[in-house]
Amino acid sequence: MMGVPQPYLATVLSRLLALLTIPMSIIENEKIFTSETFFGEKGGNSGLELFFEKAHGQVLIFVYIACITGAGGYVKRFYFGCLGANSTYAIRDLMYKEILKKNMGWFDLRENSSGTLLSAMA
């Protein structure tokens, strides 16, 4: 489940890196670096304003994906912790019930002493 955002992160990072590889001389020239020539959009900003607009958009998407991934990781760890605690409790409960069903003489054996049984349940 945690591998799902990786392709999206790769796409956003590749777009951001493609934007960062444009030479500064082209970005500062507002006649060359326009929304229409570089991104196929009508109207809009040009020059540094366009660069920062596109960069901020990609960074914001990157942060959103990172927040969602972090929240998903927290939820996953929480529920796996609950699952582990519940399964441990169930195993100990079954073991204790079975120990209580044993005959009194069973406890006299050395391998069935109270200390051995308690350490097995821990």
How do residues 68-80 score in pLDDT, each as one tens digit?
999 999 999 999 9
Residue type, 49: E
Q: How far apart are CA 46 and CA 31, in angstroms?
A: 8
Q: Please tell me whether the overall predicted TM-score, pTM, comes out greater than 0.95 for this model.
A: no
pLDDT value at residue 82: 97
Average pLDDT over residues 33-62: 83
Please report which confidence band the pLDDT of residue 1 belongs to, taking 50, 70 and 90 as the band edges.
Answer: low
List helix spans (H) across the chain.
5-20, 24-28, 35-39, 48-100, 114-121
- Cα distance between residue 64 and residue 57, in whole Å: 11
Cα 13 from Cα 8, distance rounded (Å): 8
Q: Which of 53, 64, 61, 65 has the alpha carbon at shortest distance from 19?
A: 53
* Range 99-112 average pLDDT: 85
**Angle at CA 95, nearest 5°, toward 92 and 101?**
145
